[in-house]
Structure 1
Amino acid sequence: MATLIRLLPKSPLASRASVSYFQRCLSSSVAASQSDSLVSPPVHHFTVSPNLNRRDPKDRNVQWVFLGCPGVGKGTYASRLCNLLGVPHISTGDLVRDELSSSGPLSEQLNEIVNQGKLVSDEIILSLLSKRLVTGEAKGESGFILDGFPRTIKQAEILEGIIDIDLVVNLKLREDVLIEKCLGRRLCSQCGKNFNIASINVKGENGYPAISMAPLLPPESCMSRLITRADDTEKVVKERLRIYNEKSQPVEDFYRSRGKLLEFDLPGGIPESWPKLLKALDLDNYEEKESVAMA
């Protein structure tokens, strides 16, 4: 993907070379860890690494990564920013779900993994992402926001070898709120849109601020068609959070040491968090397209 790969020579073959390199890294990754489990993952508002140096956020070639526990809202905020900036949103969670619904060779294996709340192996994730990069290249995509990748230090190292990530946003939310939020998630079986029926009002305690999140209810046409994702049970959600927390710290440290990490504590639901996230990203005055992102 020529617009994505800054570290390779600019030539008609550059993007194909990058994907080939990506696949070679994939093979090495698998050989190094055949035993990896096969999934899907605070008081200051936000914290920026002191030597953070990123390109203008209004540049269509922004190359960002969103990190955060499962259910924190990576997809919601990443997709809104993608609409605002006019760049593609690449979610590894969506890639997994698309593969699950495709009845392809990985579908049965992935179904078992997701239902148990385990992490999808590097082999599968990198394979799906590689295919997505090829598809994006064919469409002439420019820039991106990656959501849900990298999840491990190994993935972060492979990604750094081929793509120049200039900003990593780490969304954070207290665990009790995360669990309640995940258990309230619903999917419309007809239109495929995500909603949330949880009405969260948590008092501030133990150094955590109070948090209120209104439900994200569907229109009347979707109400009778809401379903719960198979992996949104309390047992599975807690296991997903445990695994994510175990794996996430090295990834955060990896990007923090490179001056690329912006840590953002969500202060509430979308109405409270969205404008503050825009401010943290120097996009609060970028209003000509904001209505598109809020649609």
Structure 2
Amino acid sequence: MAKLLRAGGRSSTTHLFSIITSKSRTFSSCSTINHETDLKAPPPSPSVLDRKSLPLRHDHHPVQWVFLGCPGVGKGTYASRLSNLLGVPHIATGDLVREELSSSGPLASQLAEIVNQGKLVSDEIIINLLSKRLEAGEAKGESGFILDGFPRTIRQAEILDGVTDIDLVVNLKLREEALLAKCLGRRICSECGGNYNVACIDIKGENGSPGLYMAPLLPPPHCASKLITRSDDTEEVVKERLRIYCEMTQPLEEFYRSRGKLLEFDLPGGIPESWPKLLRALNLEDHDDKQSAAA
């Protein structure tokens, strides 16, 4: 069962990821689980975590959470909202990679080739980027974290599990056709960096399964003419990322399920439908959201 949330961990973030870096080369290759995966399969059985076991939280006590889910499922959106609600940093390794790509650092050209082919970035590179981010955050007084995009393999999870206690792993799920449409609809404002989505997803329910509607997240007028598409958001690359996720990352579900830390959440629609239900699954309250709804 997930531990009660707490600050800290076994060590400071600087020490934590210096240990990860030093240990990353000592672990054996990624453990394998014989696990056939079908993204079109019916929703999984209920999570091993009972949401009633999670304490209702009203404070901003630091947490140590991980968000799992296929590319494009919305990990960044919901992790960022929870980050603001709980007062802990949201650390997305995808953002760290893109920041490095836009820099003139020594990794930029190497990362560009990896990302444009839809491949996973190596453990060593990700750990290096995470280490720098956490050290910078610690210098600013940050504590706790919500990790998004790490770990992606059992090897990474073993490294992380060996040096810190993850309190909870939230696994977001969405139908494959919706995932593909979301990824292909993503847009970024080239001026302000805002993230938007032009896809209007409307999937009719069949054979007793519910329908799914996700409205587009359109930009304000001053950004509309400045939208660009990420270089890795092509149909070929997105499908390759989903394939790699199926082969390498979904076994993480069993890894964390066996440790009683996995909370599985099927997204019922867009943010208006999903956000309040996710809060209920986590036994959280968003007073600002309630006040907005009341207004």
Common topology (TM > 0.5): yes
- Contact in 1 for aligned 2:8/2:143 (Cα 8 Å): no
Partner of 1:85: 86
Q: Percent identity?
A: 65
Q: CA separation of 1:145/1:93 partners in 2, compared to 1, >3 Å: closer, same or farther?
A: same
The alpha-carbon deviation at position 248 of structure 1 amounts to: 2.1
CA–CA separation in structure 2 for the residues paired with 1:76 and 1:160: 25
Partner of 1:139: 140
Aligned to 1:47, the other structure's residue is in SS state coil
- Structure 1 runs (4+) deviating above 4 angstroms are 42-46, 50-59, 288-292
For residues 109-188 of structure 1, the aligned pairs below 5 Å read 109-188=110-189
CA–CA separation in structure 2 for the residues paired with 1:44 and 1:153: 22
CA–CA separation in structure 1 for the residues paired with 2:204 and 2:170: 26
Q: CA separation of 1:46/1:219 partners in 2, compared to 1, >3 Å: closer, same or farther?
A: farther
CA–CA separation in structure 2 for the residues paired with 1:106 and 1:291: 45
Q: CA separation of 1:96/1:206 partners in 2, compared to 1, >3 Å: closer, same or farther?
A: farther
> What TM-score, normalized by structure 2, do the two folds share?
0.86
Identify which range, 223-232 or 141-150, moves more after superposition. 141-150
Matched, 1:287 2:287: yes
For residues 227-242 of structure 1, the aligned pairs below 5 Å read 227-242=228-243
CA–CA separation in structure 2 for the residues paired with 1:56 and 1:130: 31
Q: CA separation of 1:15/1:73 partners in 2, compared to 1, >3 Å: closer, same or farther?
A: closer
The alpha-carbon deviation at position 206 of structure 1 amounts to: 5.6
CA–CA separation in structure 2 for the residues paired with 1:130 and 1:206: 48
Of 16, 19, 25, 1:18 maps to 16
Identify which range, 198-207 or 240-249, moves more after superposition. 198-207
CA–CA separation in structure 1 for the residues paired with 2:149 and 2:66: 8
CA–CA separation in structure 2 for the residues paired with 1:175 and 1:49: 24
The alpha-carbon deviation at position 131 of structure 1 amounts to: 1.1
Partner of 1:6: 9
CA–CA separation in structure 1 for the residues paired with 2:43 and 2:176: 16
Partner of 1:48: 47
CA RMSD of aligned residues (A): 2.4
The alpha-carbon deviation at position 290 of structure 1 amounts to: 6.2
What letter is aligned with 1:48? S
Partner of 2:35: none
The alpha-carbon deviation at position 4 of structure 1 amounts to: 6.3
Identify which range, 170-179 or 196-205, moves more after superposition. 196-205
Contiguous gaps of at least 5 residues in structure 1 = 9-13, 34-41
Contiguous gaps of at least 5 residues in structure 2 = 1-5, 31-40
What letter is aligned with 1:169? V
What letter is aligned with 1:76? T
The alpha-carbon deviation at position 75 of structure 1 amounts to: 0.2
- Contact in 2 for aligned 1:187/1:229 (Cα 8 Å): yes
> What TM-score, normalized by structure 1, do the two folds share?
0.86
Aligned to 2:170, the other structure's residue is in SS state strand
Partner of 2:198: 197
CA–CA separation in structure 2 for the residues paired with 1:166 and 1:225: 40
Aligned to 2:46, the other structure's residue is in SS state strand
- Contact in 1 for aligned 2:17/2:127 (Cα 8 Å): no
Number of residues of Structure 1 aligned to a counterpart in Structure 2: 276
The alpha-carbon deviation at position 143 of structure 1 amounts to: 1.5
Identify which range, 171-180 or 48-57, moves more after superposition. 48-57
CA–CA separation in structure 2 for the residues paired with 1:165 and 1:263: 16
- Contact in 2 for aligned 1:44/1:265 (Cα 8 Å): yes
CA–CA separation in structure 1 for the residues paired with 2:13 and 2:116: 35
Aligned to 2:254, the other structure's residue is in SS state helix
For residues 17-36 of structure 1, the aligned pairs below 5 Å read 17-29=15-27
Aligned to 2:232, the other structure's residue is in SS state coil
What letter is aligned with 2:283? D
Partner of 1:39: none
- Contact in 2 for aligned 1:49/1:259 (Cα 8 Å): yes
- Contact in 1 for aligned 2:187/2:227 (Cα 8 Å): yes
- Contact in 2 for aligned 1:89/1:144 (Cα 8 Å): yes
- The one-character-per-residue Cα deviations of 1:11-33 (angstroms, maximum 9, x if unpaired) are xxx5543232111112325x858
